[in-house]
Structure 1
Amino acid sequence: MAAQGKHVPFTFKAMASSAGGFLIVWAAMKLLDTWFDLTLLAETKGWLLRFRDWLLLETPMPNWSALMLVAILISTLSVALYYARFTDGANGELHEIERKVYKMNNPQFPQLTDNQTLLMEALAYHANFRKVANLDSVCKLVSLSTLEVETGLNQLQVKRLVRRKVTRGTFGSTVFELTLEGKDYALERLELT
């Protein structure tokens, strides 16, 4: 499907124009031969007549058919090499595109809403810079209300992408971090480094 815009180089228009070119050259040679005395034209005509005689020689396999077989083999090989080199890069690109489409249509991770994706990016940012991700820092980073962030983090916790750690004591706090599956999701889907 990726190569639909490409045109085959052997078209009827190209063949007709080359045949027309040969016809014009032949007519020009005939006119020059008729009106002018050209020695080069006579030599070329003599060489072409000898070549024609050689092609028409009576042998077990006529020379013209042997010449045609060689021409067919060379042209077939040329076309095969051309298309092998022409489609080599396209197949690689096509395979890569098909792989991306397959991954999008058959995810190994759950589909997330926009807010959940935003929260995953925020948690990945915190993890990438080794910062503590508490409720306030995530709210400031994503510009969502506290209720929306809590709801989104709870949904991500149900999907096993986020883990909540609660510390007790004088300075007790709630910290959110990505699980191993959440880190895989962030690396795969968010394309973080």
Structure 2
Amino acid sequence: MAAQGEHSRFILKAMTCSAGIFLVAGAAMTLLDTHLDLTLLADTTSRLLRFRDWLLLETPMPNWSLLMIIAILISTLSAAICYARITDGTYSELHEIERKVYKKNNPQFPQLTDDQTLLMEALAYHANFRKIANLNSICKLVSLSTLEVEAGLKQLQAKRLVRQKVTRGTFGATIFELTLAGKDYALERFDLT
């Protein structure tokens, strides 16, 4: 509603400015004609008189009405372009707000507790720097006890965000890594630069 009021004020200003220009030009020419004798003014006056005569010519469609139709078409096109540019930004902002509200109300990923979020961030850190994430390195990074980290990792495994790999052999170890869903979650939620 407010945008419509702004458009009508814009059109009113444009019409007022153009009428004012014609009035000032006419008054200036009249003053110059009475007080100064200029050849340029005489040329301008003669051209304006010829233009007036051309507008008043008797043709199947008077020339003045043709010019009015052209002026109306140009002003309508200008108003349409102006309106399209103004509303384009409004609709894109509205779309962005709707997208944020939709993502908040329909989360793509499960809701995580603070400890689980901290563990996901630690695993994303390990993945970003291509480090092996074992239980000790995660505990050092998040400053949680081993039991809390184990419980949190099991909950993340149940949500299919983390997987556990056990290596066999002389130097066997248990390592944790993000699944594809976990990587997507980390890319969306954390700044990994």
* TM-score above 0.5: yes
Deviation (angstroms), 1:169: 8.1
Determine the structure 1 residue equivalent to 2:71.
71
- TM-score under structure 2 length normalisation: 0.73
Structure 1 CA distance, aligned partners of 2:52 and 2:126?
A: 83
Structure 2 CA distance, aligned partners of 1:92 and 1:37?
A: 58
Deviation (angstroms), 1:137: 0.7
Report Cα offsets for 1:42-63 as digits up to 9, x if no partner.
Answer: 2211211121111112222111
User: Which structure dedicates a bigger proportion of its chain to helix?
Assistant: 2
Pairing of 1:180-191 with structure 2 (within 5 A): 180-190=180-190
Deviation (angstroms), 1:138: 0.8
Determine the structure 1 residue equivalent to 2:114.
114
Pairing of 1:131-146 with structure 2 (within 5 A): 131-146=131-146
User: More deviation in 146-155 or 169-178?
Assistant: 169-178
Structure 2 CA distance, aligned partners of 1:143 and 1:136?
A: 10
Structure 1 CA distance, aligned partners of 2:53 and 2:130?
A: 87
Contiguous gaps of at least 5 residues in structure 2: none
Determine the structure 1 residue equivalent to 2:53.
53
Contiguous gaps of at least 5 residues in structure 1: none
Deviation (angstroms), 1:33: 1.4
The 3 A distance-change label for structure 1 pair 99 and 174 is farther
Is 1:159 matched with 2:170?
Answer: no
Structure 2 CA distance, aligned partners of 1:26 and 1:39?
A: 17
User: More deviation in 45-54 or 70-79?
Assistant: 70-79
May I ask how many residue pairs the two structures share in their alignment? Answer: 187
Structure 2 CA distance, aligned partners of 1:44 and 1:61?
A: 27
